[in-house]
Each structure stands twice: as structure tokens, then as C-alpha cells.
């Protein structure tokens, strides 16, 4: 039986990084992927397709230039699902090729087939071309998640879908129901609303994106409503009816009926653990398929680790990669540094929201005094040039030490812009750094300087 230092189950971002890190330590690593394509949810159905569709939507709808040329400005009049799929398929294919080449260059063997535990050290691989068993000193589970299914929703792959099935919708509907006000539901709501679809977004909690700063989420809700999105917060779906040619009806617990031509169900995801035979490794998962790990991403078996979405929050591609890297280092007792308190969030709504550090609500709850400084994109020449006059950047800082406690941005490019703040926070910088620095002109980065002045001016008045 072939023997490895590390076998990784799953080829998404978490699994890839774990395997590559092991090879960098001079170890022999293999990766098992159940699908014929590698890359996981990130490349095939989640991050990459959704962000490419978003880019296509922004381009074809002429969104960025509507502030300048008027709301009726379009790059393409009749946008179709084929337009969106064309661009997404191109990027997906390239990303798969790049990833495959990267794994091969690093000497990582990739086995195609369903991986499962034969015992705590042996992995069984069942593929279309046969079966095999491999032995490993260490095993990392990185099998990700799939959309949670529910008997309440009669999925039909065309008009009643989950987020994995977006590209299977034959046409862009005129009206749409989105169930779920988490990141996936809100991102797709924004994309379809930008295409002119009348979206009703249903969320059972009283607010969207509850982990993000309230001010940023309130600003997003303004934009959603401006794009004619109906927000149904504090509302729960009781059942969904497929009326075929005449559309879909969602029956709410409050007895309201919401109808649309299509329905996207984006409520929760379930860990891919059903095929792993966890019991053979002496492991188990919770009711949502999440595997419990410690700080080192170690399961209760010291040589078996779990990383990425299969361990739950934050379920981000960015963080999954880092967890894979850390777990591989821990498996081989190698030192590794990672600033876990400073993992950023990028939410690709329209406009984008991105943040790092703590929110005003968290600091208030913790009794930590703070001051804020705000800059509006409209005050900055680059904001006017880009036609984004509604974005804003907020710095939260300690009024005594001036240390940066959080950065929250809404507006196009927020997810890139945030990394300036991340660097300053990681290096324990203060808001004064922004005042003392010169930024390229005209850039959105100047918002940091304006926000710093705004915040520091408030201090001098008190
Ligand atoms: C619509 C959507 C949009 C998203 N947007 C973003 C974003 O903008 N930014 C961001 O950072 N994150 C985003 N995410 C989250 C991101 O996709 C995930 O955090 C990331 O893919 C998790 O990586 P992973 O390696 O844990 O799992 P996955 O990427 O899910 O990969 C797991 C792999 O394991 C395989 N597998 C499962 N079971 C087995 C088995 N028994 N044997 C062998 N292989 C198996 C699967 O086939 C899959 O290929 C998005 C997700 C979705 C759904």
C-alpha cells in the first residue's frame, strides 16, 4: 500500500493550501477529490463564478457609469444568462487549469474518487476508474459544504434553485424571491437587482449580515431599496409552491404570500461528511455536518485535522486557505504565524462591503471607548471620477492611544482598499499614520487620510 506523510481530502482552497504547504516542508502529500474537476466550491460553484457573474453584471449593465451618464445607460440592452455564463465558464476553466498546474508543479498526487476512512490511518478512494487504499501519517479533512436542502422547497433546477444552480437558470427572470439574508443571498440579490430584476429578499432575522457594522448594512439596505428590492425582514418561509409556467409562491409564516418568476434558496450550508465514514476514524460531526477542531485545527484524533468550510464559521475561501496552511504546519510540528484577529471580510454586494477588526456594536458591548472618523467617496476626486459618490470609509480608533481598532468600508473597490487598513492594524499603527502619509492622487486611498483628519478633529474638540 502506498504511504504518504499527508493525505488531504478535498481540493478546494483549504485542501490545496494544506497539500502545498506539506510539500514545501519536504513531505510527500496526496490529495483526493471526488469530482472530476478540482478547485471545490470556490472555483466551480461559489466564489469564482459568483464574483465573475457580478463583474459581468456590473460591466454589461453599465452600472459604474450610470451615476455619470444617467440610470438608463447600458453597455448591452438585453442581457441574458448566456452572457453571464460565458464569462463565468471562461474564468472557471482558467482557474482549474492554473490550480491543476500548481498542484502538479509541486509534485502533489491527485486521486479522483470519493475519499473515506477505512481506519484512522487508511483512506479508501472509490473512483469511476476503480478503488484503492492509501496510508498516511497525517490526514486533513477539507471536504467543504453543499447547500442545505429542505423539504419545504421543491427545487427544480431551473426556477427554484440553490446557489450552486444559478448558471442553470435558463433565463433572467423579471421577478425573483431570494430566501436568506446572509452573504450569498444578499450578494445575488444585488446582482439580480442591478440587472433590473424586481427582487424580494426574505430573512428571518431582523437585519441582514448581522456580523457586519450596522452603519454599513444600513447604507447597503438604502442601496437595495433604491434598486427596488423589497426587504422582508423578520419573516420566515413556511412553504414554497411551484406553479410551473405561472411562477413560484413563497408562503410566509406571517401568512403573506410572495410571488416571483424564480426563487433562490440561500439558507445555510451543510458539511460534506456523509461519504467520509468518520466513524471508522473515531470521529463525528454535528447536525450541520461540522467537524469539531481545536485551535490547531486538530480533531480528537491527534493526526487528523479538519479545515475550511467543513469546520464552520467564517466559511470564506480566504480563511480556508490559511487554515489549510496552518493545519499542515501543525501536522508536521513546524512553526507558523497567522494573525487570526485580523482576518478581513469582503462581501461582494453592490456596492461592496469590506471590514476588519471590531464593529462599533462590539466595542460598545465590550465597554471599550472609541472614536470614529469618516470619509465619503464623494469628497474625494477619485470618487467623482469613478462615479461612486455614495461610498464611505470609517476608521474606528482608540481615543487615547490612537491605535486603529477597526476599518469598515462600503463602496466599489472596498475589498481592495481595506488592505491598507489591515497593514496598519497588523503593524500596530495609529490613525496618525494616515495623516502623516502622502497617498497617490487621485485615489480612493485618500479616504484614509480624510477619515483620520475627521476622527482626530473630533478629539481635539472634546
Ligand atoms: C455562492 C458563494 C459565493 C462565495 N463567495 C466567496 C467570496 O467572495 N470570498 C470568499 O472568501 N469566500 C466565498 N465563498 C466561500 C468559499 O467558496 C468557501 O469558503 C471555500 O470554497 C471553502 O473551501 P474548502 O476548501 O473548505 O471547501 P470547498 O471549496 O467546498 O472544497 C471541498 C472539496 O471537497 C470535495 N469533497 C467532498 N467530499 C469529498 C470526499 N468524501 N472525498 C473527496 N473529495 C470530497 C468536494 O467535491 C470539493 O471539491 C463563497 C461561497 C459560495 C457558495
**Domain boundary residue among 246, 267, 288?**
267
Question: Do 385 and 335 share a structural domain?
Answer: no
CATH code of the domain in which 138 resides: 3.50.50.60
Ligand 1 probe mutation, 317, 319, 352, most atoms within 8 A of CB: 317
Question: Do 230 and 321 share a structural domain?
Answer: no
How far apart (Å, rounded) are the C-alpha atoms in residues 290 and 279? 14
Cell of 7: 493525505
Mean pLDDT of 173-191: 97
Question: Do 434 and 293 share a structural domain?
Answer: no
Domain membership flag for residue 446: yes
Beta bridge partners of 258: 250
Which is nearest to 39 in space by CA: 6, 7, 8, 16?
Answer: 16
Mean pLDDT of 398-405: 97
Ligand 1 probe mutation, 112, 143, 311, most atoms within 8 A of CB: 143
CATH code of the domain in which 417 resides: 3.30.390.30
Mean pLDDT of 258-268: 97
378-395 pLDDT per residue, tens: 999 999 988 888 899 999
How far apart (Å, rounded) are the C-alpha atoms in residues 289 and 286? 5
12 alpha carbon to ligand 1 midpoint, in Å?
5
How far apart (Å, rounded) are the C-alpha atoms in residues 239 and 270? 20
Ligand 1 probe mutation, 7, 9, 10, most atoms within 8 A of CB: 10
pLDDT of residue 389: 81
**Domain boundary residue among 341, 366, 386?**
341
**Domain boundary residue among 267, 298, 326?**
267
Q: Whose CA is nearest to atom 21 of ligand 1?
A: 42
Q: Whose CA is nearest to atom 18 of ligand 1?
A: 317
57 alpha carbon to ligand 1 midpoint, in Å?
23
Q: Is the pLDDT score of 71 beyond 90?
A: no
Which is nearest to 410 in space by CA: 345, 348, 352?
Answer: 352
Question: Do 435 and 297 share a structural domain?
Answer: no
pLDDT of residue 264: 98
324 alpha carbon to ligand 1 midpoint, in Å?
12
pLDDT of residue 279: 98
Domain membership flag for residue 358: yes
364 alpha carbon to ligand 1 midpoint, in Å?
34
Check residues 268 and 371 and name the one with the higher pLDDT: 371
Query: How do the residues of the chain divide into helix, strand and coil, expressed in percent and rounded to 5?
Result: 40, 25, 35
Mean pLDDT of 195-203: 97
Question: Do 197 and 235 share a structural domain?
Answer: yes
167 alpha carbon to ligand 1 midpoint, in Å?
17
Q: Whose CA is nearest to atom 16 of ligand 1?
A: 317
Question: Do 262 and 298 share a structural domain?
Answer: no
Q: Is the pLDDT score of 349 beyond 60?
A: yes
268 alpha carbon to ligand 1 midpoint, in Å?
13
Q: Whose CA is nearest to atom 53 of ligand 1?
A: 46
41 alpha carbon to ligand 1 midpoint, in Å?
3
pTM of the full predicted structure? 0.96
3-state secondary structure of 156: coil
pLDDT of residue 461: 60
Domain membership flag for residue 186: yes
How far apart (Å, rounded) are the C-alpha atoms in residues 447 and 354? 14
The ligand 1 site (C-beta within 6 Å) comprises: 9-15, 32-35, 40-42, 46-47, 50-51, 114-115, 142-145, 163, 184, 272, 275-276, 308-310, 315-318, 320, 346, 348
Q: Is the pLDDT score of 460 beyond 80?
A: no
Question: Do 137 and 274 share a structural domain?
Answer: yes
3-state secondary structure of 451: helix
Q: What are the CA-CA distances from residue 380 to residues 162, 191, 294, 388, 450 (Å)? A: 40, 26, 45, 10, 9
Domain membership flag for residue 230: yes
106-156 pLDDT per residue, tens: 999 999 999 999 999 999 999 998 999 999 999 999 999 999 989 999 999
Domain membership flag for residue 153: no
Q: Is the pLDDT score of 255 beyond 80?
A: yes
pLDDT of residue 1: 86
Question: Do 168 and 53 share a structural domain?
Answer: no
Q: Whose CA is nearest to atom 52 of ligand 1?
A: 46
304-338 pLDDT per residue, tens: 999 999 999 999 999 999 999 999 999 999 999 99
Kindly give the number of the ligand 1 atom that is closest to the alpha carbon of 318: 11
Domain membership flag for residue 20: yes
Question: Do 280 and 165 share a structural domain?
Answer: no
Which of the four pLDDT bands, split at 50, 70 and 90, describes residue 211? very high
Domain membership flag for residue 84: yes
Question: Do 27 and 166 share a structural domain?
Answer: no
What is the DSSP code string of 324-354?
Answer: HHHHHHHHTT------GGG--EEE--SS-EE
Name the domain count of the chain: 3
Q: Cβ distance 310 to 289 under 8 Å?
A: yes
Domain membership flag for residue 155: no
Q: Whose CA is nearest to atom 17 of ligand 1?
A: 42
pLDDT of residue 426: 96
Check residues 76 and 202 and name the one with the higher pLDDT: 202
Kindly give the number of the ligand 1 atom that is closest to the alpha carbon of 314: 19
Q: Which domain holds residue 320?
A: 2-147+270-341
End-to-end Cα distance, the chain: 73
* R_g (Cα) of the chain, nearest Å: 24
Question: Do 129 and 19 share a structural domain?
Answer: yes
pLDDT of residue 462: 52
Q: What is the pLDDT of the chain when averaged over all its residues? A: 96
CA angle 128, 129, 135 (to 5 degrees): 100
Which is nearest to 64 in space by CA: 345, 386, 363?
Answer: 386
Question: Do 130 and 16 share a structural domain?
Answer: yes
Amino acid at each position: 500500500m502506498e504511504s504518504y506523510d499527508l493525505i488531504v481530502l478535498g481540493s478546494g482552497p483549504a485542501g490545496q493550501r494544506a497539500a502545498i504547504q506539506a510539500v514545501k516542508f519536504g513531505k510527500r502529500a496526496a490529495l483526493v477529490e471526488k469530482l472530476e474537476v478540482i478547485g471545490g466550491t470556490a472555483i466551480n460553484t461559489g466564489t469564482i463564478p459568483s464574483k465573475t457573474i457580478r463583474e459581468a453584471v456590473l460591466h454589461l449593465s453599465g452600472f459604474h457609469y450610470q451615476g455619470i451618464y444617467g440610470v438608463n445607460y447600458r453597455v448591452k440592452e438585453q442581457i441574458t444568462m448566456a452572457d453571464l455564463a460565458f464569462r463565468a465558464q471562461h474564468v472557471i476553466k482558467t482557474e482549474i487549469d492554473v490550480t491543476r498546474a500548481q498542484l502538479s508543479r509541486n509534485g502533489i498526487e491527485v486521486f479522483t474518487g470519493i475519499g473515506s476512512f477505512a481506519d484512522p490511518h487508511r483512506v479508501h478512494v472509490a473512483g469511476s476508474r476503480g478503488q484503492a487504499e492509501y496510508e498516511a501519517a497525517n490526514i486533513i479533512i477539507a471536504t467543504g459544504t453543499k447547500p442545505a436542502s429542505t423539504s419545504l422547497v421543491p427545487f427544480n433546477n431551473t426556477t427554484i434553485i440553490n446557489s450552486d444552480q444559478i448558471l442553470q437558470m435558463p433565463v433572467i427572470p423579471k421577478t425573483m424571491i431570494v430566501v436568506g439574508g446572509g452573504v450569498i443571498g444578499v450578494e445575488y440579490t444585488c446582482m439580480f437587482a442591478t440587472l433590473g430584476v424586481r427582487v424580494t429578499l426574505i430573512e428571518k432575522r431582523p437585519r441582514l449580515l448581522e456580523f457586519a457594522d450596522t452603519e454599513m448594512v444600513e447604507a447597503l439596505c438604502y442601496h437595495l431599496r433604491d434598486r427596488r428590492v423589497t426587504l422582508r425582514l423578520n419573516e420566515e418561509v413556511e412553504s414554497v409552491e411551484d406553479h410551473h409556467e405561472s411562477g413560484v409562491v413563497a408562503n410566509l409564516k406571517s401568512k403573506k404570500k410572495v410571488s416571483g418568476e424564480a426563487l433562490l434558496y440561500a439558507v445555510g450550508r451543510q458539511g460534506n461528511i456523509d461519504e467520509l465514514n468518520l466513524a471508522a476514524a473515531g470521529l463525528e460531526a454535528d447536525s450541520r455536518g461540522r467537524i469539531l477542531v481545536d485551535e490547531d485545527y486538530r480533531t480528537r484524533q491527534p493526526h487528523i485535522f479538519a479545515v475550511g468550510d467543513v469546520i464552520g464559521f467564517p466559511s470564506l475561501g480566504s480563511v480556508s486557505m490559511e487554515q489549510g496552511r496552518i493545519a499542515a504546519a501543525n501536522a508536521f510540528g513546524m512553526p507558523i504565524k497567522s494573525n487570526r484577529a485580523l482576518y478581513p471580510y469582503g462581501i461582494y454586494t453592490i456596492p461592496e462591503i469590506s471590514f476588519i477588526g471590531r464593529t462599533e456594536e462590539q466595542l460598545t458591548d465590550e465597554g471599550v471607548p472609541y472614536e470614529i472618523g469618516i470619509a465619503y467617496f464623494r469628497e474625494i476626486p477619485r470618487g467623482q471620477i469613478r462615479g461612486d459618490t455614495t461610498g464611505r470609509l470609517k476608521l474606528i480608533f482608540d481615543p487615547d492611544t490612537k491605535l486603529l481598532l477597526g476599518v469598515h468600508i462600503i463602496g466599489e473597490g472596498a475589498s481592495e482598499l481595506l488592505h491598507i487598513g489591515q497593514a496598519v492594524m497588523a503593524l500596530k499603527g495609529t490613525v496618525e499614520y494616515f495623516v502623516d502619509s502622502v497617498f497617490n492622487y487621485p485615489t480612493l486611498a485618500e479616504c484614509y487620510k480624510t477619515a483620520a483628519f475627521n476622527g482626530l478633529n473630533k478629539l481635539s474638540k472634546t
